[in-house]
Amino acid sequence: MQAPKQIKPKQLADYLEVMSKAAFQAGISWQVVEAKWPGTKEAFDNFDPEVIAKYSGTKMANLLEDKRVIRNHLKLEAIVFNARRMVELDTKFGGFRKYLRSFGSYDEAAKDLRKNFKFLGEMGIYYFLYVVGEKVPDWEDWAAEHHMMEK
């Protein structure tokens, strides 16, 4: 398996896009998510958290009918929830990167991300932190510890 491409987030939308991809990939083939990603990004206003945080019931109803996205209402609602929470933490810490770096260890960061955001499991958190360039444990060590290694 090839490691996902890392990015250097330049704006809050970069973080939300990676987090959203991790959420969509939970329980779904990553190939399906990748195939739908351009349309998903367009449908979600390029993952601008300030815009998504203001989504209403009407916008959500439209997303549930939008063939460009994976129409799982729980995941769609999680993206909106996560956008709102991300904006709050960005404001509270003077930057989302500062929030991510406010922890003493990967395990502390993972625990807080799991508490604050929806549809982020162990694998999603590792993926998110790795892709946005934060420090993560060695993959093979982490995967073995979390029983993710294929036998």
Q: Taking the CB of residue 76, how many other CB atoms lie within 10 A of it?
A: 24
Q: Letter for the amino acid at 42?
A: E
Query: How is residue 6 annotated by DSSP?
Result: P
Range of weakest confidence among 8-12, 27-31, 114-118, 122-126: 27-31
What are the pLDDT digits (tens) for 46-87? 999 999 999 998 999 999 999 999 988 999 999 999 999 999
Model confidence, pTM: 0.91
Domain boundaries, the chain: 12-145
Structure tokens at 1: 């398996």
* High-pLDDT (> 90) share of the chain, %: 75
Is the domain 12-145 a CATH 1.10.340.30 member? yes
Structure tokens at 38: 């351009």
According to the model, what pLDDT value does residue 150 have? 54
